[in-house]
Chain A
Amino acid sequence: MLACLIGYFGDFDLAEEATAEAFAVAAQRWPGAGMPDNPGAWLVTTARHRAIDRLRRDRVLAAKLPLLAQQPQEAEDVMDGPPIPDERLELVFMCCHPALAIEAQVALTLRAVAGLTTEEIARAFLVPAETMKRRLTRAKSKIKVAGIPFGVPVASQLPERLAAVLAVVYLIFNEGYGDANPKTQTSRGPGLAADAIRLGRVLAGLLPAEPEVLGLLALMLLHDARREARFDGQDLVLLPDQDRSRWDWRQIAEARDLLDHALLDPALRARPTARGPYALQAAIASLQAETPLDWPQVAALYGELADRTGSDVVRLNRAVAIAEAGDPVAALAIVDGLDLPGYQYWHSTRAELLRRLGRTAEARAAYREALALARTVPDRRFLERRIAET
C-alpha cells in the first residue's frame, strides 16, 4: 500500500503520513459504520485523498495537480475509480537523478522501488540506522526543495539518465556480489544481489525495448548463477576451476534468452544503445559459461567493449583473454602498456603472465604488489598461496 502511494505521489513523507492518517480514519469509522467491502482499496483511496489534500497546499508539487484533479473526490467512489497508474518508472528516474549523491540514489532506490526498510538498507551498507535515516531524509528534502522532477526524462536526455539508473542497479548488485560468500555472509551480500536482480526485472518489464536494460539483467543473472561455485570454504575459486554442476543453469538460460533478444531482435539492434557496455559484458559472461571457452571471441568482445568505454580495466581483461587464447607475450605487452598502479588486478594479472613466461622473481614481486592492495580475505588467501607456489 505504501509503495503504491509512493509510486503515485513520488513523495515518501507524504505517502507515509497519508497511510498513517488513513488507518487512523479507519480505526475511528469502521467500528461504528462497519468495515467496507474492500478494506484494502478503501485504505489506499482514503490515503490518496488525504495526500491530495496535502498536495493542494503544496506549491512545490503544483505541477502534478492537473493529474490529481482527475481522481475521484470521495473515498466511497473507490470501486468505480480508474486503476492506480503504474508510475514506478517515474519513481526510478527521480530516485536516480544525478543531482542526488550516488549513495542517496542507491538508498532511495532500495527504499522506494525495492521496498526495503531504512533499517534493512543500513544493515546492507554496514552503517548505523540513524545515518541511513539522515541520508534518506536529506535526499527526500533535496528532491522537494530543488525541484527534482517525478517523471521520465525527455528523449534527448533519456540515454544518459537511463545509464545513471542502470549504474545504480549494477552498483547495488556488485555491493552484494563482491564478497558474497554464501557460507560466511549474513544478510549483506546475497540480499543486495537479489534486490538488484529484482530491480533489473522491474526495469526490464517497464522498458522492454531498451537493449541495455535487458543486457544488465542478463549480466546480473549470469554472474549470480555462479554464486554458489565461487567459494570453497573461505577460498575464492576462479572461473576455470569452478564446479559447473553448482551453477544455476536455469538462470543462465534465462539470461541467454534476454541477451539473444537484446542483440538479435531487429528493433532492438537498430537502437543507438544496442551492443552497449552491459549487453557486451553479458555476452562475455555467457561465453564464459561454455566449454570449451572461445577465448578469441571473448578477446574480440573485450576489444569492442574497450572501444565503447575507453576503460583500461577492460583492456586488462582483453589481455587476459588474449593470454588464454595462447599468446601470453602479446598479453603482457598490453598489460605493461596500461597505467593502473592502484589496481590490484593489474598487478595480479602481470604476476600471472610473468609466472607463465617463467619470469618468477618478477612474478613474485608483482604478486606482493597485488597483495598489498587486496581488501578481502579470499583475495588475500589466494595471493598468499600464489606467492608460496611461485
Chain B
Amino acid sequence: MQYALLIYSKPGAAEALSADEREANHREYLDIKKLPGVVGGASLHPVESATTVRVQDGQTLVTDGPFADTKEVFGGFYLIEADDLDQATAIAARIPAARIGGSVEIRPVVIDRE
C-alpha cells in the first residue's frame, strides 16, 4: 500500500533547538528519505511564505498566508510504500517533528485504477 506521512510541526519547536540538534534533525530527515519504501516527499518553506488561492464565480482570489490559524503547521511529507499500517507507523515514528511537539498524520493514498 502507499501512504502519505503528513508532517505537522509545532511552531518554534525547531528554532528552540541548538544548531547541532537542528543539524542532526536535518540529517535524520535525509536518512528517512533513503529508507527502502520511501518513494518521495518534500520539505516546505515556512508558512510565512504561503499564498492561498480560491476560485469564486470564475474569479481567482489570491491572499497572503494560510487560511486558518492552527497550533501545528504543515511542514512537509513523505510518500512511502508499506505492507500495512504498522510498517508505515514505524517509519512515521522516526520523523523528528513527531517527538518535538509535532505530529505525523498517516493517510493511505488512493490508487487510481485506469
Residues on A facing B (Cβ under 8 Å):
59-60, 63, 97, 99, 145-149, 151, 153-154, 157
- Please, could you name 11 A-B residue pairs with CB atoms under 8 Å apart, sorted by A? A59-B111, A97-B85, A99-B89, A146-B85, A146-B106, A147-B82, A147-B83, A147-B108, A148-B85, A149-B84, A149-B86
| From B82, B84, B111, contact of A148 by CB (8 A) | B84
In the complex, which of the residues A97, A146, A148, A149 has the most CB atoms of chain B within 10 Å of its own CB atom? A146
Within the assembled complex, what's the spacing in Å between the Cα atoms of A147 and B1? 7
A60 and B1 form a contact (CB under 8 A): yes
Within the assembled complex, what's the spacing in Å between the Cα atoms of A59 and B2? 12
**CB within 8 Å for A99 and B1 given contacts A145-B108, A146-B108:** no
Within the assembled complex, what's the spacing in Å between the Cα atoms of A145 and B106? 12
- Residue of B at shortest CB range from A93? B86
- Residue of B at shortest CB range from A98? B89
| From A63, A147, A154, contact of B85 by CB (8 A) | A147
- B5 at the A/B interface (Cβ < 8 Å)? no
Bitwise interface map of B from 73 to 114 toward A, beta carbon under 8 Å scored 1, else 0: 000000000111110110000000000000000101001000
A-B interface pairs (CB < 8 A), number: 29
List B contacts of A97 (CB < 8 A).
85
A149 and B108 form a contact (CB under 8 A): no
List B contacts of A59 (CB < 8 A).
111
A149 and B1 form a contact (CB under 8 A): no
List A contacts of B89 (CB < 8 A).
99
Within the assembled complex, what's the spacing in Å between the Cα atoms of A99 and B85? 9
> Whole-angstrom distance from the CB of A4 to the nearest CB of chain B?
23
List A contacts of B111 (CB < 8 A).
59
Within the assembled complex, what's the spacing in Å between the Cα atoms of A170 and B45? 47
Known pairs A63-B83, A147-B3, A147-B84 / 10 extra A-B pairs, C-beta < 8 Å: A63-B84, A97-B85, A99-B85, A146-B85, A146-B106, A147-B83, A147-B85, A149-B85, A149-B86, A153-B86
Within the assembled complex, what's the spacing in Å between the Cα atoms of A151 and B83? 12
Within the assembled complex, what's the spacing in Å between the Cα atoms of A157 and B84? 15
Within the assembled complex, what's the spacing in Å between the Cα atoms of A148 and B87? 10
| From A145, A146, A149, contact of B83 by CB (8 A) | A149
A157 and B108 form a contact (CB under 8 A): no
List B contacts of A148 (CB < 8 A).
84-85
- Residue of B at shortest CB range from A145? B108
- Residue of B at shortest CB range from A150? B84
Within the assembled complex, what's the spacing in Å between the Cα atoms of A31 and B50? 71
List A contacts of B3 (CB < 8 A).
147
Within the assembled complex, what's the spacing in Å between the Cα atoms of A151 and B111? 24
> Whole-angstrom distance from the CB of B71 to the nearest CB of chain A?
22
> Whole-angstrom distance from the CB of B98 to the nearest CB of chain A?
15
Within the assembled complex, what's the spacing in Å between the Cα atoms of A190 and B86? 35
List A contacts of B85 (CB < 8 A).
97, 99, 146-149
> Whole-angstrom distance from the CB of B85 to the nearest CB of chain A?
5
In the complex, which of the residues A146, A147, A153 has the most CB atoms of chain B within 10 Å of its own CB atom? A147
Chain B 34-61 interface residues, beta-carbon cutoff 8 Å to A: none
> Whole-angstrom distance from the CB of B80 to the nearest CB of chain A?
12
Within the assembled complex, what's the spacing in Å between the Cα atoms of A108 and B76? 34
